[in-house]
Chains A and B, each alone.
Chain A
């Protein structure tokens, strides 16, 4: 049995999902030979710490840790001070400076802890540096959950398609935009109406620009370009057009000729823009779904689709990353 002490930083929607999933999957993980012990959870109000594992039921009902915190340590301080093997970083993302996640990841990696994250910001801002930090300290940095949520993409390319040359990846990487465009096409309603619908359903933020202006998609393009294509690019290298200019009439005209309009991120072209996608293309998924087409030399085109967001779904991608860290180790140990 491999004992792994896990610290969680960030206790929002995804953080709750992580606590829930780790608790639910305890037995299954044990059967795999992995005993994951969540020894600390931190947010902006403080930290819950328990050497022999936190009782998930006790904290899942709390929106923040304010009433259950056992110490006042937060953020970087907690990451450095707590003796864990692996840090799950799920604080709110910021793709301009990457903080606070960037600081958390640096602290974790430099003290020899693996990092698993759903937080795009730090990777968009300084992927190269974080990767080097991980290598220098002999630990891993895993981030499947940052692109396409639960939809397997990074591990699919890195592992399953290992022997292939990847020519490019194009896809729908933002569920909110896809929901808005789908509703506009189905109902012929204007953009503003579809947006307010998405906001009412809790799918879009009060300030939706991050999604609808293509910023979020561009962040994912940066991560894919750097992680899978070794491109060493910045956010400003991506040519971005959002969906705010798309009209229901444009969608109707396209539909008549057999197309839907989707916000497509493209690597290595480094573009984010609304594009015509044939209705019968496997990329043309509706609602909040994400999809990605991977163009390869040996396997042709492979298309994946799945939920791009959600608490449990994102936690699932995080769990996959955790398992893969210890599986990799085991394979290394054999040879």
Chain B
């Protein structure tokens, strides 16, 4: 599972190495380390964002070890939404209960609508909506698109999906 962590380090030499030690000990695979040396917090500490691949069960151990080393853990958790997709809907988007359309995606737990733009040219004319959906992975994106397709059939909306960059 992919986790992201926001840490704050003291501005003294060797702190970053100290912060990475617990990850090494728990065999967490580091995906990225962003060290903002020039963006100090009001407290004078240096913010660091880590993305690691590890078991969720090890998260507490890692957190404790970091704290014991004097490193403050601001936030640690699953980096949930790592994939996003754009979709355009055409039809009576609003009248067919847009709230319901959005909640059908949001209620999955693995995907959510993060951006929505609506154009309504006239009362009886079809409106067009742009939706950006994010999800926990590629498979979940496909599942969310599947739900939208179903909603489209049900509510007679034209669902315009993005073309895949690669053959599926």
Which residues of A are interface residues toward B (Cβ below 8 A)?
167-168, 170, 241, 245-247, 249-250, 252-254, 256-257, 259, 261-262, 264, 269, 273-278, 281, 283, 295, 301
A22 to B161, CA, bound (A): 44
**A253 near B119: Cβ-Cβ < 8 Å:** yes
In the complex, are the beta carbons of A247 and B121 less than 8 A apart?
A: yes
Q: Report how far A322 CA is from B119 CA in the complex, Å.
A: 52
Q: Shortest distance in angstroms between B130's beta carbon and chain A's nearest beta carbon?
A: 4
Contact present for B158 and A283 (CB under 8 Å): no
Could you mark each residue 92-133 of chain B with 1 if its beta carbon is under 8 Å from any beta carbon of chain A, else 0? Answer: 000000000000000000000000010101000111111010
The interface residues of chain B, by DSSP majority, are classed as: strand
Cβ–Cβ contact B166 & A295, under 8 A: yes
State whether B90 touches A301 (Cβ < 8 A).
no
Bound Cα distance A247, B160 (Å): 11
Chain B hits for A259, CB < 8 A: 86, 88, 162
Contact partner, A253, options B129, B158, B167, Cβ 8 Å: B129
A–B Cβ pairs within 8 angstroms, 24 of them: A167-B167, A170-B163, A245-B91, A245-B126, A246-B160, A247-B126, A249-B121, A250-B160, A253-B88, A253-B117, A253-B129, A254-B86, A254-B130, A257-B132, A259-B88, A261-B160, A275-B162, A275-B163, A276-B87, A276-B162, A281-B165, A283-B163, A295-B166, A295-B167
List chain B positions with a Cβ less than 8 A from chain A. 86-88, 90-91, 117, 119, 121, 125-130, 132, 158, 160-168
Contact B163 A241, beta carbon cutoff 8 Å: no
Residue of chain B at shortest CB distance from A169: B167
**Are B86 and A276 in contact (CB-based, < 8 A)?**
yes
- Which residues of A have CB within 8 Å of B166? 295, 301
CB distance from B91 to the nearest CB of A (A): 7
Kindly state the separation between the CA atoms of A254 and B161 in the bound complex, as whole angstroms.
11
The distance in angstroms between the C-alpha atoms of A252 and B120, with both chains bound, is: 12
Q: How far is the CA of A254 from the CA of B130 in the complex (A)?
A: 7
A-side contacts of B165, CB under 8 Å? 281
Report the bound CA distance from A241 to B91 in whole Å. 14
Contact partners of A254 in chain B: CB under 8 A: 86, 88, 130, 160
CB B162 to nearest CB in A, in angstroms, measures 4
A264-B163, A277-B163, A295-B167 as given contacts; A241 in contact with B158, CB under 8 Å: yes
Q: A247 is contacted by which of B128, B161, B168 (Cβ under 8 Å)?
A: B128
**Residues A249 and B128 in contact, CB atoms below 8 Å apart:** yes
Give the most central of B117, B127, B160: most A CB within 10 Å. Answer: B160
Q: How far is the CA of A269 from the CA of B142 in the complex (A)?
A: 14
Report Cα–Cα, A262/B168, bound state, in Å: 19
Residues on the A chain within 8 Å of B87, using CB:
276
Q: Given A253-B129, A257-B130, A276-B88, are A246 and B167 neighbors across the interface (CB < 8 Å)?
A: no
Residues of chain A within 8 A of B158, CB atoms compared: 241, 245-246, 250, 274
Query: In the docked arrangement, what's the CA distance between A249 and B147, Å?
Result: 23
Other 17 A-B pairs with CB < 8 A, given A250-B88, A250-B128: A246-B160, A247-B128, A250-B90, A250-B119, A250-B160, A252-B119, A253-B117, A253-B129, A253-B130, A254-B86, A254-B88, A254-B160, A257-B130, A259-B162, A261-B88, A261-B160, A264-B163
Give the 3 A-B residue pairs with the shortest CB-CB distance, closest first. A295-B167, A167-B167, A168-B167
Contact yes or no, B119 A276, CB < 8 A: no
Cα separation A301 to B88 with both chains bound (whole Å) = 26
* Beta-carbon contact of A281 and B163 below 8 Å: yes
Q: Provide the residues of chain A in CB contact with B126, threshold 8 Å.
A: 245, 247
